[in-house]
Amino acid sequence: ADIVVLPGDGIGPEVTAAAVAVLREIARCFRHDFEFASHDIGGAAIDRHGDPLPAATVGACRRADAVLLGAVGGPKWSDPGAKVRPEQGLLALRRELGLYANLRPVRPHPATLGAAPIKPHLLAGVDLLVVRELTGGIYFGEKTRSVDAASDLCSYSTFEVERVVRRACMLARQRRGHLTSVDKANVLETSRLWREVATRLVRDEFPDITLEHQLVDSMAMHLLSRPRAYDVIVTENMFGDILTDEASMLAGSMGLLPSASLGDGDGGAAEGQPGDARAGDRSTVIGLYEPIHGSAPDIAGRGIANPVGAILSAALLLRHSLGLEAEALHVETAVAATLEAGIFSADLMPEGRAADTDEVADAVI
């Protein structure tokens, strides 16, 4: 399998190196042939090519079986007047590849409950999956800027809502069959569309799924007060961005959480066209895998970043893009064993001697 690696900025190169080392070990043990090729994205690509998403990077991703990404961004490129920004590269890649469904599983590990700000008794048994819409909404709408005003347009089509809710339903079917759709339907028109489409789709195509609607503000609360009540949560791009960072606190550290961004396996060809591309019917789809944490410029280059989010992203890559379920489970089990052994990076262990990035990766391997 051909795997494109996009290290990106900050701690990106450190954590992807750890994840690649784990994948190499999987290839060795299970006798697979994984080829890795690194390409530039984000700030690193701006510095080298003046473009946060060079054409060569997109081309390589399209030809690959899967893409593993670190993180993008940093103060170096965040000047308010900057013409290009690292984040544009990531956003454009998600869109180019048609990766409309961003899966962010949150399953707090008993060993890391100490690091979570949430009371442990609320966390036992929490196992939720946020499916964030990733190629629409206010992230991609028209923007305007004048001397004394600015605007961002949030828009959604029925097609865009349907496909991501359908994907969430399929995932819910493989889990506990419960779907929570999050919107702000008491204020936003896009949310009213979202709620109508979700309601109709579940009624017509997934009568076996129980659907609940939550307003985003009240979800931000319930995620903390009763996290066990949720199974699959589906929501639009911006709400998903906020809620998943919040949800990471259930796990103890953002550094622990992986994500998978999936399309329909057609490289985004169906983008914007109403159709019935049934996502998930095929066992492998093109996918981009990245930890949910950012580039953490404050600790970059020090070798102390938590590689678990990136390593678990590699596990999702094995599962979703390569169809290697046993191998994925192998990685997940090794991560669990590492955490059980108390091998924690600094984010999980503010005091005492923490393990560095390589030590965590070696323990997993």
Pairing assessment for the beta strands 66-71 and 287-291 based on DSSP bridges: parallel
Closest CA to 319 of 286, 290, 352, 284: 284
Among the listed residues 149, 273, 352, 353, the single contact to its own copies using CB under 8 A: 149
Q: At what angle do helices 325-340 and 308-320 cross, to 10 degrees?
A: 160
Q: Residue positions in the annotated binding site for substrate?
A: 94, 104, 132, 217
Element (H, E) at 250: helix 237-251
Q: Which residues are annotated as a binding site for Mg(2+)?
A: 217, 241, 245
Q: Taking the complex as a whole, how short is the minimal distance between the CB of residue 239 and its own copies, in angstroms?
A: 8
- State the minimum distance, in angstroms, from the CB of residue 82 to its own copies: 10
Q: At its nearest, how many Å lie between its own copies and the CB of residue 30?
A: 36
Q: How far is the CB of 123 from ligand IPM (least distance, A)?
A: 22
* Nearest-approach distance from CB 316 to ligand IPM, in angstroms: 14
Active site residues: 139, 184, 217, 241, 245
Q: Rounded CA gap, 2 and 66, in Å?
A: 7
Pairing of strands 287-291, 128-133: unpaired
Kind and range of the H or E run holding 54: none
Residue 164 carries which side chain, given as an amino acid letter?
V
Q: Which stretch binds its own copies (CB under 8 A): 17-25, 83-91, 103-111, 309-317?
A: 83-91
Residue 153 sits in the site that holds ligand IPM (CB under 6 A): no
The rounded radius of gyration (Å) of the Cα atoms in the chain is 20
Produce one character per residue of 217-247: b if its CB has 16 or more CB atoms within 10 Å, e if not.
eebbeebbeebeebbbbbbbbbbbbebbeeb
Contact with its own copies (CB under 8 A) among 111, 171, 243, 343? 243
Burial class (CB in 10 A: 0-12, 13-18, 19+), 49: middle
Q: Does 47 bind ligand IPM (CB under 6 A)?
A: no
| Residue from 122, 277, 354, 363 in contact with its own copies (CB under 8 A) | 122
Q: Which is nearer to its own copies, 60 or 257 (CB)?
A: 257
- Print the binding letters for residues 188-227 with its own copies: x by CB under 8 A, - otherwise: xxx-xx-xx--x----------------xxx-xx--xx--
181 binds its own copies (CB under 8 A): no
Give residues 78-137 in contact with ligand IPM (rule: CB under 6 A). 87, 90-91
Through-space distance between the first and last CA atoms of the chain, rounded to whole angstroms: 20
Q: Tokens 């409950």 appear where? A: 113
CA angle, residues 239, 115, 359, in degrees to nearest 5: 105
Interface with ligand IPM (CB under 6 A): 72-73, 87, 90-91, 186-187, 217, 241
Interface with its own copies (CB under 8 A): 73, 78, 80, 85, 87, 91, 117-119, 122, 138-139, 141, 143-145, 147-159, 184-190, 192-193, 195-196, 199, 216-218, 220-221, 224-225, 238-239, 241-246, 248-249, 254, 274, 294
